């Protein structure tokens, strides 16, 4: 019973990160506003696209590990990837974003990713 929950959560999180990455590549400025730190109108969109590519890559890698590797490998992936939303929490706080976004989106995501890792290790 634990395996479907562990894999289901991991797939949902990987798909979410893939979607976020694609959004940053397709619509970087609106995606930045949703991230919690709006982009400056005259700023360089390349940095937003870098974030998009990072997230897209994380998401696709996660889906590949879930599909082709064992639960332990997917668990280690989730454990390592949790660094990104933890870092995002600090970035939003340091750059004028709200605590609600920093903790309600980014920190909550990190917690969900860590729970996913724990579930995958338990399978």
Q: For residue 45, is pLDDT > 90?
A: no
Report d(CA 65, CA 79) in Å as an integer: 13
Burial of 53 (0-12, 13-18, 19+ CB in 10 A): middle
Q: Please tell me the least confidently modeled range out of 1-5, 25-29, 41-45, 115-119.
A: 41-45
Q: What percent of the chain lies above the pLDDT cut of 70? A: 100
- Who contacts 54 (Cβ-Cβ below 8 Å, separation ≥6)? 21, 84
Report d(CA 2, CA 87) in Å as an integer: 29
Enumerate the domain spans of the chain: 2-122
pLDDT in tens, 51-65: 999 999 999 999 999
DSSP 3-state of 61: helix
Taking the whole predicted model, whether its pTM rises above 0.75 is answered as yes
CA atoms within 13 A on the CB side of 122: 13
């Amino acid at each position: 019973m634990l395996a479907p929950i562990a894999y289901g959560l991991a797939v949902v999180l990987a798909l979410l990160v893939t979607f976020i990455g694609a959004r940053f590549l397709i619509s970087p400025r609106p995606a930045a506003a949703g991230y919690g730190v709006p982009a400056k109108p005259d700023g360089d969109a390349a940095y937003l696209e870098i974030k998009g590519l990072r997230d897209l890559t994380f998401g696709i890698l996660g889906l590949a590990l879930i599909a082709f590797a064992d639960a332990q490998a997917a668990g280690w992936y989730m454990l390592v990837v949790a660094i990104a939303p933890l870092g995002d929490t600090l970035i939003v706080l340091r750059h004028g974003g709200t605590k609600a976004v920093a903790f309600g989106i980014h920190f909550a995501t990190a917690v969900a990713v860590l729970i996913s890792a724990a579930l995958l290790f338990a399978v």
